[in-house]
Structure 1
């Protein structure tokens, strides 16, 4: 129903009024669960309480408490404040039931599992909804300590449980917004892609979505022992035991400081946390045996995603972003390259294998390449291979078009796919990736191709290029002149073909404090 004040839709908790914006009906800040504070703190999400009358859905809900230092920010985000973190937002071409049901695309944000919110300007979904004639949903979920710290008295992976609750809201309510609950595609980037991979492996998420797009899947999943050890150190930073009861006595926004403090000194824990220690990211999905029974690679190889169509891929120069932002470009020494190869390479002979495979590579190239491969490119490719091995279908892509901003040094770096997909070139990361260059025609053409492929996949299961198979290994290479060809990183694929992306272990547990 549309009134003079805006379109009104009735959800299972009450009616909401949105706004007409550029030919779309847009609803923001609709609760899908109760605020996770008070007795609900550190617990699984609880269904939103019903309300009377018509609730105005004009503003995004407040972001969950998060690591501000990771985002290069101080103070609060420029966003609403409050405890009602668990809200959804909907962009729909038409709310009339007679208009027919459209495919639904549900976005999951990234942010190293410790930052991010759906109200970020970079996730404005208007172009995806309008260009693709689909319904787009975004939502907030708990991050950092609130969402992922493995503490006593609380379920593991609360951030993932929030995502399941949001998908249940979509199942129960999206038809009222013109969407088809039987045609739901989840898509996410970086930690959001890790969440997509996790949802594919979670029994509680089964049947809530039918297709999935994972953009730059991180390979970091924690063993239960490692996650508990990390949480104990975070709690110690706060001067508290690692229990839900104790941590709940501290304001959520103040508690994030403990996670930030630990992130700054994680290298001190290399003897216990191994590869995790240099990442400055003390959160990841936890393979706890219940919420997340196994890693996504193991689950998909066993057939868990057989009934879900998958698109998965990565950017060619993922780690370049972090080198540039850290002021390291052109400054990597031979010693640093050797450390990275020994730390992140595939097995004890990783350094020798990389040097033999890339004999002409400079230290900076080796440093970047092995971290790109370990953290993003190989986990993404192996997810596709696991899906195919388990009897499912996967389509693979690699983004190779270089970002034009910052003097052209960024390459096809981590996060470039976000402004290209959403068309948000001047928001958030897009400010850096397109800074000083404007938006070249190539970017707009590639952006249109991204949206066309993703929305076609949501509608039909076919993004426009062949499915991946272990013999031909055909992938879509996204560049100024996109082409379908054999996977370009064949040398790297061979280096990693026998490596298992297992949960990161706790090393030397007897030495823990």
Structure 2
């Protein structure tokens, strides 16, 4: 096994610096050095706080803690995100930075800590998105942390079988997050946070990264509660499939598997171009995600059961009712001209279940005779593509008698009605960023009510490890439905769950 201390480094005691803070912007002394934040609306905010060294010199290798500094580093602006295909204001391989919002820096305050991991699968995303702003949660007497980390090939390209220098590759994006959690454990007291009460929450790919960490020994003890928002990871990529993806990626770049030296000097933009390689297992762009490398990840997170390491951690799992409305354009070719005759064929390619699409359509029409073909398309593709992973994980934890709660977001966009309650809806409601650019919740009374209900439950979970509704057990399947009026319903989509449980679910990227 690797020396897990090697990429963490030795720690120094933290002290806050109230004398500096009293003169203006807050200054805190961390284990690495002093940082200066800003005051915003009654909060102390620190953006662009370094938790790891520049990864450009350590491509495809585990991260290491920063070198100490003597001067006061500014922490008043977001740092660059990891290079990626998605458009971002700024990207750099030097991307191991986090951001903190806190009501105050009294060491004795010991406020719950909420650490958010952004979505974007394992390939894209950034916590600089205004939808992820932590100010509303922090104003509720919480310390909020958001984290950038390596993505796509920079975080998950599997080279361990080709070159011993890259023994940690395939999971270095996960190791970045573990390094960030260690930084928080060792530093957050100086920001008024409780290192013994850290809740990790993440949406989409962020949730999947959390599910994966619950099976990683290096993450043990670094967080105490977990929320996955429309993000699951039942199985990781096996080393054989990961090696096939690596071969496709190297082929796209024209790099020989027997000489990986060009990867270390190649412009990062070229590395991103390599992601256009065709995935040999799934088709489409090549998938990069956690690898069952038997070094850092020794078992699948939720197969054949829930990883025992995570079963003592209280966990909330959620999804949105209309997940696929975020992925499939209502004005695009799959929906344009949709009717009962072509519905099964158009739906078939969007399912990850090997069931006859005609039979699925018939079942939906029998249960919902008033639904349109479009509504059935989105319901079936959500239930057969985006939702099953959450069901598998919740059931696995229920069988292990692990403390588990399940929610579903039913609140529909009032500003874009055809989007319904799509993937990403829960980000805005949980952060309370209803008026941020990119939000499609609106700021009306309904959105405020749904957001208040979701924030209240998330914060109760952070404080007590219990959101205040019944745990998910197989005899009841209690589910909180967040909407204008929120409430608990038992097994709200039971017949859909039972229908798609007839065949195995294909985990993306496995």
TM-score (norm: length of structure 1):
0.87
Higher relative contact order (CA 8 A, sep 6+): 1
1:402 paired with 2:412, answer: yes
Match of 2:79 in 1: 61
Take 2:191 and 2:43, find their aligned partners in 1: how far apart are those partners? 11
Name which of 39, 43, 46 aligns with 2:61. Answer: 43
Take 2:175 and 2:93, find their aligned partners in 1: how far apart are those partners? 18
Shift of 1:400: 0.8
Match of 1:313 in 2: 318
Per the alignment, do residues 166 and 501 of structure 1 end up closer, same or farther by CA in structure 2, a change over 3 Å counting?
farther
Alpha-carbon contact 2:330-2:336 (below 8 Å) kept = no
Name which of 244, 248, 251 aligns with 1:236. Answer: 251
Match of 1:511 in 2: none
Match of 1:510 in 2: none
Per the alignment, do residues 385 and 440 of structure 1 end up closer, same or farther by CA in structure 2, a change over 3 Å counting?
same
Per the alignment, do residues 470 and 136 of structure 1 end up closer, same or farther by CA in structure 2, a change over 3 Å counting?
same
* Pairs within 5 Å for 1:50-449: 50-68=68-86, 73=87, 77-79=88-90, 82-98=92-108, 100-131=109-140, 133-151=141-159, 152-153=162-163, 154=166, 155-218=169-232, 221-241=236-256, 245-259=261-275, 261-262=276-277, 266=278, 272-273=280-281, 276-277=282-283, 280=285, 282-298=287-303, 301-324=306-329, 327-328=332-333, 329-332=335-338, 334-335=341-342, 337-338=344-345, 340-341=347-348, 344-347=351-354, 349-351=355-357, 353-359=359-365, 364-406=374-416, 408-427=417-436, 429-430=438-439, 433-434=440-441, 438-449=442-453
Per the alignment, do residues 245 and 339 of structure 1 end up closer, same or farther by CA in structure 2, a change over 3 Å counting?
farther
Structure 2 SS opposite 1:286: coil
Shift of 1:299: 7.0
Post-superposition CA distance 1:369-398 (Å, at most 9, x none): 343224421111221111122231100001
Q: Which stretch of the first structure deviates more once superposed, 462-471 or 491-500?
A: 491-500
Alpha-carbon contact 2:52-2:64 (below 8 Å) kept = yes
Shift of 1:455: 1.1
Structure 1 SS opposite 2:185: helix
Alpha-carbon contact 1:345-1:351 (below 8 Å) kept = no
Match of 2:490 in 1: 486
Q: CA RMSD in A?
A: 2.4
Shift of 1:458: 0.6
TM-score (norm: length of structure 2):
0.87
Gaps of 5+ in 1: 507-513
Structure 2 SS opposite 1:447: helix
Post-superposition CA distance 1:429-465 (Å, at most 9, x none): 41xx24xxx4211101211211111111010011121
Structure 1 SS opposite 2:273: helix
Take 1:323 and 1:405, find their aligned partners in 2: how far apart are those partners? 18
Alpha-carbon contact 2:412-2:420 (below 8 Å) kept = yes
Match of 2:466 in 1: 462
Structure 1 SS opposite 2:283: helix
* Pairs within 5 Å for 1:14-25: 14-25=33-44
1:477 paired with 2:481, answer: yes
Take 1:474 and 1:504, find their aligned partners in 2: how far apart are those partners? 27
Per the alignment, do residues 383 and 341 of structure 1 end up closer, same or farther by CA in structure 2, a change over 3 Å counting?
same
Gaps of 5+ in 2: 1-17
Take 1:326 and 1:169, find their aligned partners in 2: how far apart are those partners? 45
Per the alignment, do residues 232 and 35 of structure 1 end up closer, same or farther by CA in structure 2, a change over 3 Å counting?
same
Alpha-carbon contact 1:446-1:479 (below 8 Å) kept = yes
Shift of 1:504: 5.7
Per the alignment, do residues 502 and 50 of structure 1 end up closer, same or farther by CA in structure 2, a change over 3 Å counting?
farther
Take 1:32 and 1:303, find their aligned partners in 2: how far apart are those partners? 29
Structure 1 SS opposite 2:310: coil
Post-superposition CA distance 1:218-248 (Å, at most 9, x none): 4574222222222222222222235753322
Q: How many residues align?
A: 477
Shift of 1:473: 0.9
